[in-house]
Chains A and B, each alone.
Chain A
């Protein structure tokens, strides 16, 4: 009898399609993935900077690489990773200062992070890559 009562009290939700990561959670995992991706791309970025500064010839090589459509897509993706990490990071700094920690503002600020990081990516991409 007692066991039955306990079992009844425990809610179960195995309807998996109804379970999803909320937006602040998506922001959080992208923050981690973007950080890891930038870490892995560091040698590529240092190589680009080295080439761009080493000599006019190396600058031309880097310019040629960056002008390739595939490289542009990779770099646009990289700019987005950086901008997401940047905006989400500022949000985390605000949360550290106990600003916007209630559920409603936390959800709103994650929406702002996505909107601002995508907007900045498009602006910087348009100016630098195209």
Chain B
């Protein structure tokens, strides 16, 4: 007898881990960002732009955004799964969520590398 489980091909565990990994990345970035901005106290355009012109901050900010978007996908998907029962509507909302988040990722790249 083939005891085959057709659902749950580790999707749950993978997302569970990614949700936490991205949370740690965002938490570390938040602390770094608050310290950097707190120390620099940027009150002019040049000072503010100077923070993001730094290669490390730009890389870290991009990593932060990617983490935000992936983390948001898992969290918002959980909300749709908890409250939206009709399959078609749930699928539509999930696709819309992915679509806007992928779009935001492109926007974030544009903001950081075309400034």
Contacts and interface: CB of A to CB of B under 8 A. Distances in A.
Interface of A: 32, 35-36, 38-39, 42-43, 46, 49-50, 52-56, 59-60, 86, 89-90, 93, 96, 124, 127
Nearest to A35: B75
Nearest to A33: B79
Given A32-B79, A46-B111, A53-B49, A96 B104 contact: no
A93 B23 contact: yes
Contact of A53 (B20, B30, B104, B115): B115
Which 3 A/B pairs are nearest by Cβ-Cβ distance? Answer: A53-B115, A59-B45, A56-B45
**A-side interface mostly:** helix
Interface string B90-107: 000000000010001001
Contacts of B26: 86
Interface residues of B, number: 25
Nearest to A31: B75
A87 to B, nearest CB: 10
A43 B110 CA distance: 14
Contacts of A59: 45, 48-49
B104 A46 contact: yes
Nearest to A55: B45
A124 B34 contact: yes
B72 interface: yes
Contacts of A124: 34
Contacts of B45: 52, 55-56, 59-60
Nearest to B111: A50
A50 B65 CA distance: 13
A81 to B, nearest CB: 13
Given A39-B72, A43-B104, A89 B23 contact: yes
A46 B107 contact: yes
5 contacts: A39-B72, A39-B76, A46-B108, A53-B49, A60-B45
Contact of A36 (B76, B110, B115): B76
